[in-house]
Amino acid sequence: MNVADKKRLLREMLFARRFEERCYEAYVERKIGGFLHLYPGQEACAFGVMEAARPGRDYVITGYRDHVHAIKCGADPKAVMAELFAKETGCSRGRGGSMHIFDVEHRFMGGYALVGGPFPLAAGMAKAIKMKGDDDIAICFLGDAANNQGTFHESLNMAALWDLPVLYVCENNLYGIGTRIDRSTAVVEQYKRVDAYGIPSAQVDGQDIEVVFKAAQKAVKHVRSGKGPYFLELLTYRYRGHSMSDSNAYRSKDEEKMWSKRDPIIMLRDRLIEAGEITKDDYKAMDTEILDQIEDEIIAHAESSPEPKVQELEKYTLAENDPWVRGGRN
Amino acid sequence: MAELMYWEAIRRAHDEEMANDPLVICMGEDIGMAGGTYKATQGLYDKYGAERVIDTPISENGYTGLGIGASFLGVRPIIEIMSVNFAWLALDQLFNSAAKVRYMSGGQLEAPVVVRSPGGTAHQLGAQHSARMEKVFMGIAGLRVVTPSNPRQAYGLLKSAVRCNDPVYINEHELMYNLKGEVPDEEYFHPLEGSEVAREGKDVTLFGYNISVHWCLQAAETLSKQHGIEAEVVDLYALSPLDRAGIRASVGKTHRAVIVEEAEAPVGVGSEVMAIINEECFFELDAAPVRVSAANVPIPYNHTLERAAIPKVDDVVAAVRKMFGK
């Protein structure tokens, strides 16, 4: 990772942070409805892993905390915000919402709201990749709490059994909604749980993007070389509650303060400042530019976009004009 | 035209579709080396290999989800779930992922996956191996549900289902795999929507699907010979979407309807068909529609009780006679 990469990633992560914070405000303004699960604090996970992979080409799937992963894959932030605003210009045509961001063109294969649901879907995408003989990989980002679902064990068993090219990335933010990991999970160290399936794994600091990147490079190399799945555990922390309806009262201020000192953006920023690569003013200017861009381009686009037409309520339920519905083309 | 057994017809459809498209795979428990519990995939493992004829672990939700994920990238999986009772474990992936992904992605992603599974009451299999769950599947938007009553349909519906871009659930029947019937020698694709008139009649319509079509046909013979009532039998091979036009046409002709289902009555195929008749054919009716359904009990092990739990041909005859006051 060279200096130019680090500077770019600093900008990308800061953009993601400001994007998510603006989502929070829009939710409070009632411009965004439903459930909203935000990402601040965990940015180094998505950006570090995807930086080591091929964004837009490797297939990515995740859970409901999905906006930032989509953007890193190449989704237009305007379309993501418009989706949150439930507009027809949204990346899922206003039918998906926060938990169902999709951008298949950039191989972001979706956010799914059923905890653990993406595990087998990722293995299936890897099966398809393998059948086609491509060197792409499937990457499945999910939180630590998803690992207690049966789908985790069923999928890892199959992925290992059949040497499928899938990278499982566990963003371990220590909480499943409001339940701390040691109160829900017998073996707290998630990377150890996959030993049962003979899957190689690693646990690293998920706040330091350079550490994440390095670990992900190794993981991606393993998976892409045809050696089967890999499991990467990233220790991280979300600043906000699980969702907007979560008052976040279950965590101590001391704990939150401790983690805020290990902010992935601040850490990278300070490193670049210390190395003399950027100044504090550069950073401030960049931040202002991002905030303006979000307001002037992204929010403005979402605000001014039309809603889906009620006449198209049933569109996308079933394939349109599928000849096999009528028994073929004749 | 060759006579094939139901399982042979399904096997032929698998074979032809796998030969036609290298991205068609089949997967399920014991379907590979062992050839499938009901022989529906017999010989395919040797012909197409372990990568395409996949013996899965006993992990229904996991492998169904895996098939769905593969379908996102253009693979066409035919997933066999050995018994519909086990399919319950896969409902999360089938309902939450496959059936919804086109809609919630705004049309970007589709899951062209086929899930086949037998249901029904066979011979003393007990409560947990005798489920009739088609009514649950047909209530899910985004999922097609078909249920073949004969080898021709079993063959043609699977062929169309594999090529259709929607997820399709095929409800088979444990007692029907050895049923013989004519299947066209040439390639044949059965429509995934609609219904078939299995017997023409003018006095009453008997609506059946899957095994109950055969009960209806037998009842129609008895009604004709012994009571002078000519029953039309409509085979609702597509349960979702249901053929409203076909239901309307037949009730418009006979003005009476009996719906025969092997499942319990509550929230069933019968109640759905009755609702359609009520909504669309009310002024055509000469009598209130009637359901002939199973007792609302888990299927018992005892053979006598088991037979008593599900409808019989005599029950269909009795229901029609009562309707005519005979």
CB contact (8 A) between residue B65 and residue A151? yes
Domain boundary among B181, B206, B233: B181
CB atoms near residue A33 (< 10 Å): 12
Nearest CB to B164 within list A92, A95, A322: A322
Give the DSSP letter of residue A324. Answer: G
Number of domains comprising chain B: 2
Enumerate the domain spans of chain A.
Answer: 1-310
Phi, psi of B71 (to 5 degrees): -65, -25
Confirm if A58 and A223 have CB atoms less than 8 A apart: no
Q: Check whether residue B199 and residue B151 sit in a common domain.
A: no
Which residues from chain B sit within 8 angstroms of residue A59, using beta carbons?
A: 73
Domain boundary among B154, B181, B208: B181
Confirm if A194 and A119 have CB atoms less than 8 A apart: no
Residue B189: inside a domain, yes or no? no
First vs last Cα of chain B: how many Å apart? Answer: 41
Residues 12-71 on B with a CB inside 8 Å of A are 23, 25, 51-52, 56-57, 59, 61-71
Residue B23: inside a domain, yes or no? yes
Closest CA to B139 of B234, B8, B239, B63: B239
pTM, whole model, 2 decimals? 0.97
State whether residue A114 sits within 8 Å of chain B by CB.
yes
Domain boundary among B181, B213, B237: B181
> Could you give the CA distance from residue B211 to residue A149 in angstroms, rounded to a whole number?
37
CATH number for the domain including B304? 3.40.50.920
Q: Check whether residue B22 and residue B152 sit in a common domain.
A: yes
Phi, psi of A207 (to 5 degrees): -95, -20
Q: Which domain holds residue B95?
A: 1-181
DSSP helix/strand/coil, A203: strand
Instruction: Report ipTM for this prediction.
Output: 0.97
Peptide bond into B241 cis (omega under 30): yes
Over its length of 326 residues, how does chain B's per-residue pLDDT go in tens digits? Answer: 899 999 999 999 999 999 999 999 999 999 999 999 999 999 999 999 999 999 999 999 999 999 999 999 999 999 999 999 999 999 999 999 999 999 999 999 999 999 999 999 999 999 999 989 999 999 999 999 999 999 999 999 999 999 999 999 999 999 999 999 999 999 999 999 999 999 999 999 999 999 999 999 999 999 999 999 999 999 999 999 999 999 999 999 999 999 999 999 999 999 999 999 999 999 999 999 999 999 999 999 999 999 999 999 999 999 999 999 98
Which residues from chain B sit within 8 angstroms of residue A161, using beta carbons?
A: 57
B60 flagged as catalytic: yes
Q: Check whether residue B54 and residue B139 sit in a common domain.
A: yes
Confirm if B25 and A131 have CB atoms less than 8 A apart: yes
> Could you give the CA distance from residue A298 to residue A306 in angstroms, rounded to a whole number?
14
Letter for the amino acid at A244? M
Q: Check whether residue B173 and residue B84 sit in a common domain.
A: yes
Closest CA to A126 of A135, A115, A137: A137
H or E stretch covering A70: helix A67-73
List, in order, residues 6 or more apart from A244 with CB less than 8 Å away: A24, A27, A35, A36, A38
CB contact (8 A) between residue B73 and residue A325? no
Instruction: Express each pLDDT in A211-240 by its tens digit.
Output: 999 999 999 999 999 999 999 999 999 999
Residue B186: inside a domain, yes or no? no
Q: Check whether residue B12 and residue B115 sit in a common domain.
A: yes
Q: Check whether residue B151 and residue B275 sit in a common domain.
A: no
Nearest CB to A325 within list B63, B71, B164: B164
Give the DSSP letter of residue A195. Answer: G
List, in order, residues 6 or more apart from B303 with CB less than 8 Å away: B123, B124
Q: Check whether residue B34 and residue B111 sit in a common domain.
A: yes
Q: How many CA atoms lie within 13 A of B100 on its CB side?
A: 21
- Check whether domain A1-310 has CATH 3.40.50.970, yes or no: yes
CB atoms near residue A162 (< 10 Å): 18
Residue B213: inside a domain, yes or no? yes
> Could you give the CA distance from residue A167 to residue A189 in angstroms, rounded to a whole number?
18
Closest CA to A113 of B114, B113, B105: B105
State whether residue B148 sits within 8 Å of chain A by CB.
no
Residue B188: inside a domain, yes or no? no
DSSP helix/strand/coil, A322: coil
Residues 39-78 on A with a CB inside 8 Å of B are 59, 61
Letter for the amino acid at A100? H
Q: Is the dihedral of CA B65, B70, B71, B76 positive or negative?
A: negative
Over its length of 330 residues, how does chain A's per-residue pLDDT go in tens digits? Answer: 999 999 999 999 999 999 999 999 999 999 999 999 999 999 999 999 999 999 999 999 999 999 999 999 999 999 999 999 999 999 999 999 999 999 999 999 999 999 999 999 999 999 999 999 999 999 999 999 999 999 999 999 999 999 999 999 999 999 999 999 999 999 999 999 999 999 999 999 999 999 999 999 999 999 999 999 999 999 999 999 899 888 888 999 999 999 999 999 999 999 999 999 999 999 999 999 999 999 999 999 999 999 999 999 999 999 999 999 999 865
CB contact (8 A) between residue B104 and residue A100? yes
List, in order, residues 6 or more apart from B47 with CB less than 8 Å away: B15, B18, B53
